[in-house]
Amino acid sequence: MRTVELFAGGGGLAIGLKQAGFKPKAIIEFNRHACQTLRKNHLTDSEHFLYEGDVRLFNYDQIARTENECIQLVSGGPPCQPFSLGGNHKAFNDDRDMFPEAVRAIRELKPQAFIFENVKGLLRKSFSAYFEYILLQLQFPDKNKYPDETWETHYERLKKTVMPAMTMH
């Protein structure tokens, strides 16, 4: 099964997935030192693409895919600093909030599954609406945010999408 790893760091999650039989099709990491570690951990070779750069600039079309070679899993650990108990607690106002990029990967790659890990601080009450917004985007990736739309307005629109589905059960 083929994976794309975002925000790979030194590759802990990628190593575990590789040991479980997954094959990383692409690994995306911004930090050059982490990329050196990824190379030393033998997570990259001629078949697997390491993108050393800003995920916001990554074009998923550059991952050669055919019908028989779709991406089954997107995984990664979006930076935790915006949500960490020890940080500035800026969440969606922090330039390091990469959850929009995690959602973009799901939207564009359409994997069968995804795994994202983050810090406990993301579950704080002050971030509860934003956390629910992230979950709704992952649940309804085809409901794009409009270019001039705030995350709050998009969140309200997504909640309206869920309401009819909830009342049908």
Catalytic residues: 80
- Nearest in space to 141 (alpha carbons), one of 92, 99, 106: 106
Q: Report how far apart, in Å, the C-alpha atoms of 48 and of each of 37, 39, 100 are.
A: 15, 11, 24
Which residue carries 């895919």 as its tokens? 65
Answer positive or negative: Cα dihedral of 155, 161, 162, 166. Answer: positive
In sequence order, the 6+-apart residues with CB closer than 8 A to the CB of 32 are: 52
